[in-house]
Chain A
């Protein structure tokens, strides 16, 4: 039989499938477009639904209650990424040019997708916001002008955790001779803290052991047998998704005291502890935002949106959970960055490049946070040209079987140590990719 060269038919197919570029109306609407690359199916559907539900609810609140940001309405479009790079990259390409001025910024809440669109975002001049995830060394704004790992990164977090353990042990000098295990999901995300933990071990004289959990981490028996044999004083956990409840169950079966396990902020939500049942009682985790509905902003959302049926969450019992509140926090930061940019470029729809300036000059102080009704929900943030992280502090919380209880104030990171490592790593990246570093002393 005659056969066609492969390209032809398939290309035809592709052309049929390819969507024509969205045409823009003649009059520019007074709208700011926000892409929402959410994940509501797949293994991470549970966290994704809360994170992006909270995010959309806050955007909607700003529209309904305040009539937008200084009169500029927010619009958004969801695109399902399923937490996978294969779908995340097309989502990025699809949404980046939408709206009158293009996408404001992207926040994938997926380290792998963030890595994959890092170069693209820089080339397209669209800010990539990676709140508490993504590439740690992208905190160096000189090398990564368009990447914003706001609030905190994994290295700052690790110094926070070590400091917390030090406090619990009665002073940093008491760490000498202690044994700390790092139990982590064996992917890029999980490995981030290893290097700094080893540095800190040398610094404070504690012993450390790295125990990888093969993804997805459903079975951790051998890891916990290893830990039991090693008899550490503390276990630091970097996990996500199903690994977390499995970790708590396995720890219970190995008889390891749960109040000596400290998870990071992706290892400490209701989705992690409730399935583990009693095994989770006493477990401690870091947080960048607490759970709870007592914050005025969350109450506003319930009052303004949910009483009118405008809310995004189908399951309203998840409002006020750790991850939902994280979505709201993300919304606050996003909106405030746009507001900051409007202060410079005018109260109109802005481009990604202009919003980049807003992100870089974002200054959320206690007063502003209070005005937003988010005192205690979010830490003060001051971003600068060189420092794209802004905050760096975390609190700690403990699960009492029903809810998370905050057990510490904001604990600040070891900025010097983290910064040195960030600069060394970003310099290496700049060299690999032939990037000219920005000179931050020149401003803007």
Chain B
């Protein structure tokens, strides 16, 4: 029982780490219908920028602000150069453009900052403490708190600010929003900037766990089942989906893995999500979608 609890808690907490990446996807998908494959590359770029700036002698807060500014600038450039010319194109072309963007960002990140693996110490020890025989990592709790904070901020932002309302309007119906005079471009720039900021946070947390290196770019894949489970358009869904994926894959690996031969956590969340989708094709929190002829 104790062991079960430990697996469960560990899974939930690592799910939070997935949610952090998934959040960036949701923001962009919600407002612009773009499945931003480059989110992982943005995470890499943000973390690498932060660490490299710090290495060049900036104080921590300075580096944080500078990399935030760089991420916002990057978002504006992406909106201007990549998205604006592709307005009204099919979703798959936009997805493709973000795959192209991935190559660009990866090349840019390693070209500018070099390919050395860098350590990143946020000052939060990643050592466990013992709660009645269950090991819980301080770092995971910290990450969970950050994720919770981010979601709260984003939710408030969407709910109560003017831009937030515009954002929701755009998400509902591009054309209706445009005809009401909501500047689509500004809204898009804002979500990309927000996604850039989320990428920075995810990059710092993941980077301090794995080292700041190219592999940060592939953690995208861990966010995908979270998205299907939670729905592409729901911020709350990203968190709940993350928790579900994290817990289920760890439990499956620990309890089913030995029976099936191990290594099943790569596909288990997808199969789970698949079964789930068969029952509810729009995800947990996704909007119901009715086809009309």
Residues in B with CB closer than 8 Å to A67 are none
A30 within 8 A of B: no
Asked if A279 CB lies within 8 Å of chain B CBs, one says yes
Interface segment out of the listed B120-128, B188-196, B277-285: B120-128
What residue of chain B has the Cβ atom nearest to residue A48's Cβ? B115
Any B CB within 8 A of the CB of A200? no
How far apart sit A252 and B126, CA to CA, in the bound complex (Å)? 8
Residues of B within 8 A of A214 (CB): 263, 265-266
The smallest beta-carbon distance between A37 and chain B, in angstroms, is 17
Give CA–CA (A254, B7) in the complex, Å.
11
CA distance A315 to B118 in the complex (A): 13
Q: In the complex, what residue of chain B is closest to A242 when comparing beta carbons?
A: B215
CA A241 to CA B211, docked complex, whole Å:
11
A210→B217 CA distance, assembly (Å): 28
Nearest-neighbor residue (CB-CB) of A276 within chain B: B211
Residues of chain B lying within 8 A (CB to CB) of residue A249: 126, 209-210
Does the CB pair A186–B263 fall under 8 Å? yes
Which of A215-223, A337-345, A421-429 contacts the other chain?
Answer: A215-223
B62 contacts the other chain (CB 8 A): no
Instruction: Kindly state the separation between the CA atoms of A255 and B107 in the bound complex, as whole angstroms.
Output: 37
- B164-172, B236-244, B246-254: which lies at the interface: B246-254
Instruction: Mark each residue of chain B from 94 to 136: 1 if its CB lies under 8 Å from any CB of chain A, else 0.
Output: 0000000000001100100011111111000111100000010
**Does A246 count as interface, using CB distance less than 8 angstroms?**
yes
Min CB–CB distance A102 → chain B (angstroms): 30
A interface residue count range (under 10 / 10 to 19 / 20 to 34 / 35 or more):
35 or more
Q: Is the CB of A46 within 8 A of B10?
A: no
With the chains together, A46 CA to B110 CA distance in Å?
10
B254 in contact with A222 (CB, 8 Å)? yes
Q: State the CA gap A241–B115 with chains docked (Å).
A: 12
Residues on A with C-beta less than 8 A from B11 are 221-222
Q: In the complex, how many residue pairs between chain A and chain B have their CB atoms under 8 Å apart?
A: 122
CA distance A48 to B115 in the complex (A): 9
What residues of B have a CB within 8 angstroms of the CB of A40 in the complex?
A: 115
The listed residue (B14, B128, B249) touching A254 by CB distance below 8 A is B128
- Hey, what's the 0/1 contact readout for A243-280 against B, CB within 8 Å counting as 1? 00110010011110000000000000001001111110
| Cβ contacts under 8 Å, B125 to chain A | 278
* B250 (CB) vs chain A CBs: closest residue: A222
Whole-angstrom distance from the CB of A40 to the nearest CB of chain B?
6
- A43 sits at the interface (CB 8 A): yes
Q: What residue in chain A is nearest B212 (Cβ atoms)?
A: A275
Task: Give the distance to chain B from A77, nearest Cβ to Cβ, in Å.
Answer: 20
If A46-B116, A229-B3, A253-B127 touch, whether A221 touches B250 (CB-CB below 8 Å) is yes
| A128 CA / B120 CA spacing, docked (Å) | 38
- Whether B215 lies near A221 (C-beta < 8 A) is no
In the assembly, what is the distance between CA of A315 and CA of B55, in Å? 13
Docked complex Cα distance between A43 and B139 (Å): 25
Q: Mark B25-36, 1 if CB is under 8 A from A, else 0.
A: 000000000000
Q: Tell me whether B153 is interfacial, beta carbon within 8 Å.
A: no
Q: B286 within 8 Å of A by Cβ?
A: no
Q: Closest chain A residue to B118 by CB distance?
A: A275
B134 CB, nearest partner CB in chain A, Å: 11
Distance in Å: Cβ of B166 to nearest Cβ of chain A: 36
Contact A45-B110, Cβ < 8 Å, known A210-B262, A223-B253: yes
| Interface mask (B207-238 → A, CB under 8 Å = 1, otherwise 0) | 00111111101110010000000000000000
Check A314–B114 contact: CB distance below 8 A: yes
**11 additional contacts (CB under 8 A) given A43-B214, A271-B117, A274-B117:** A212-B262, A214-B265, A218-B219, A221-B14, A226-B257, A249-B210, A253-B128, A271-B211, A275-B117, A275-B118, A276-B211
CA distance A271 to B115 in the complex (A): 11
Return chain B residues, CB-CB under 8 Å to A242. 210-211, 213-215
Residues of B with C-beta under 8 A to A46 = 115-117, 213-214
Q: How far is the CA of A70 from the CA of B119 in the complex (A)?
A: 44
Produce 1/0 per residue, B1-18, CB < 8 A to A: 001001100110010000
In whole angstroms, how far apart are the Cα atoms of A249 and B135 in the complex? 14
Please report the C-alpha to C-alpha distance between residue A222 and residue B251 in the assembled complex, in whole angstroms: 8
A49 at the interface (CB under 8 A from B): yes
3 residue pairs, one from A and one from B, having the closest CB atoms: A275-B211, A242-B215, A45-B115
Residues of B within 8 A of A219 (CB): 14, 222, 265
User: Which residues on A sit within 8 Å (CB–CB) of B106?
Assistant: 41-42
Q: Which residues of A contact B210 (CB under 8 A)?
A: 218, 242, 245-246, 249, 275
With contacts A211-B262, A212-B262, A242-B213 known, is A222 near B119, CB below 8 A?
A: no
Cβ-neighbour of B135 out of A212, A222, A253, A271 (below 8 A): A253
Complex CA–CA separation, A210 to B115 (angstroms): 32
Residues of chain A within 8 A (CB-CB) of B6 are: 225
The answer to whether B215 touches A253, judged by C-beta atoms less than 8 angstroms apart, is: no
